[in-house]
Amino acid sequence: MRSIFLTPFLLASCFVQAQGDPSTLERIVNQGKYHNQVMKRLHELCFDIGPRVTGSPKLSKAQHWAMRKFKSWGLTNIHLEQWGEVPVGFERGDHQIGRMVEPYDTKITFTTMNWMPGTQGLVRADAVMAPKTMAEFERDKPKLKGAWVVYYAGTGMGGPKQPEPADVKKALDALGIAGRIYGSQDERVWSHGTYKDKTIDKHSSDVQIIVSKPDFDRITRNIGFGRKTVLEFQAENKWFKGPIPQYNVVAEIKGGEKPDEVVIICAHLDSWNSPGSQGANDNGTGTVTAIEAARILSAAHAKPKRTIRFILWAGEEQGLLGSSAYVKAHEAEWDKISAVLNDDGGSNYQSGYWGYAQMKPMLEAAYAPTVKAFPEMPQHFDVYTDMSNDGGSDQAPFNYVGIPGLSVRQAGRQNYGHVWHTQFDRYEEAIPEYLVQASTNHAVVSYNLACADTLLPRGPKPKPKSK
């Protein structure tokens, strides 16, 4: 990142249009740009805790870690707010091994879906192509017993397709196989899954292994050549008896003049967990930019007129569960929430917002100090005609009821599709200079909105959604 020295005169010119106190904004920008700790927080989250599936012990560990950070910086009203429960918990163990043993030894990149069984220890077996008919099953029955059965039909992000006829599946299950092998679409393997209709005692017994396309092609090519192909996998999948209560993390910098009016900075703390993933960019980056914004504001001794509330959601990956429950539970506050700033797009920098035209002047003024401090990372505002359609992340439940839920725009060099829900979602994929800008921008914008003369303007009242 190119260093820029901001003279007092230039700093003053940065804040002419901003709503907050200019000297406080100078301290915020200085703290965010030159003393930023966002990468330190991300390292702690990724290496001390790791990926954080909703309902897992690691998510609970991350929530208490975040609460300790907020407390250390003097925030108030720090608490866990329950939004629901999951019927069974799930987490991957440390033992995740995939190898081709014959005809030669090579590592295999793989995953399993969440809330699906793993292997019973390390399982080594021949790889055999799946039968398509009962006639093929009967023909190959001797070599299918105890084998890894390989399917040509691939997988998407939601998991394996189910190509086999019901009678063939039933016959294979009765025969006893090591498990089923599927291939992904490319070098990525995705993590997904659902706890719906499952308990610790009642769930599928199918072992389903998803391997990367290069590894899948290697397996099928060797089988096709008639070579003895032996695979071994260990997928340590841990289950935890439920029901398990689930929470959002909440903390505040209380407003001095209008404490009942609120600006919310938020991100989802839960993640997926393909073997190798650390939950770094979806959404560790959004989490730590929110947490670092709290530290920056505290270190700058910011005294906002309105309350700035920090919320770390859970259950986002299962359908915006934590944020949806929060909106419903806080209906009495709807008219006093000025804006919700949600970051859930990976490790690129915050490049502006989209919303109704009447929001544009206030938001452009709010982020102007960040643009001055980081001129190589420009921002702009795009006009939306219907914000209630912006439904990809935790801003959506707010927009559905007419609260300005602002999903920050992102720009930069990260290929988010490479890391999204994959084994590549790791700390080293995050871009430090972008996260420095993003956490500083969160602090600047939230402070300016919290000090503005009015709440952020709203659009038309959304029409009730049809049932």
Contact 143, 128 (CB under 8 A): yes
Which of the listed residues 228, 259, 276 is the one where a domain comes to its end? Answer: 228
Let me know whether 292 and 430 are in one domain: yes
CA within 13 Å, CB half, 186: 8
Domain-located, residue 2: no
Q: Rg (Cα) of the chain, in Å, rounded? A: 25
Position 94 in a domain: no
Looking at residue 5, what is its pLDDT? Answer: 36
Question: At which residue do the structure tokens 């706890």 appear?
Answer: 195
Give the pLDDT score at 465.
Answer: 63
**Strand order across the 380-383 sheet:** 380-383, 349-355, 409-411
Helix (H, G, I), strand (E, B) or coil at 340: strand
> Which among 220, 222, 204 is positioned nearest to 150, based on CA atoms?
220
CATH of the domain at 439: 3.40.630.10
pTM attached to this predicted model: 0.94
- Asked if 64 and 148 sit in the same domain, the reply is no
Q: Is residue 467 one of the residues assigned to a domain?
A: no
Question: β-strand 405-407 against 258-268: which pairing, if any?
Answer: unpaired
- Do 181 and 143 share a structural domain? yes
Residues 198 and 248 in one domain: no
Question: Do both 183 and 262 map to the same domain?
Answer: no
| Whether residues 185 and 323 fall in one domain | no
How far, rounded to the nearest angstrom, does the alpha carbon of residue 40 sit from its chain's CA centroid?
18
Residues 173 and 255 in one domain: no
Ranges of residues in the chain whose predicted pLDDT is under 70: 1-18, 464-467
Q: What is the pLDDT of residue 249?
A: 99
Question: What pLDDT is attached to residue 15?
Answer: 43
- The residues near 3 (Cβ < 8 Å, ≥ 6 apart) are none
Same-domain pairing of 186 and 270: no
Is residue 93 domain-resident?
Answer: no
Among the three residues 204, 228, 252, which one is the final residue of a domain in this structure? 228
Burial degree of 325 (CB within 10 A; 0-12, 13-18, 19+)? buried
Q: Which domain holds residue 202?
A: 104-228
- 76 and 153 assigned to the same domain: no
422 in any annotated domain = yes
Residues 258 and 144 in one domain: no
Q: Are residues 271 and 374 in the same domain?
A: yes
Question: In this structure, is residue 312 part of a structural domain?
Answer: yes
Give a yes or no: residue 78 inside a domain.
yes
Is 182 part of a structural domain of the chain? yes
Encode pLDDT of 131-148 as tens digits.
999 999 999 999 999 999
**425 three-state secondary structure:** coil
> d(Cα 449, Cα 441) in Å, to the nearest integer?
12
Number of domains in the chain: 2
- Of 228, 261, 278, the domain-final residue: 228
413 and 299: one domain? yes
CATH number of residue 216's parent domain: 3.50.30
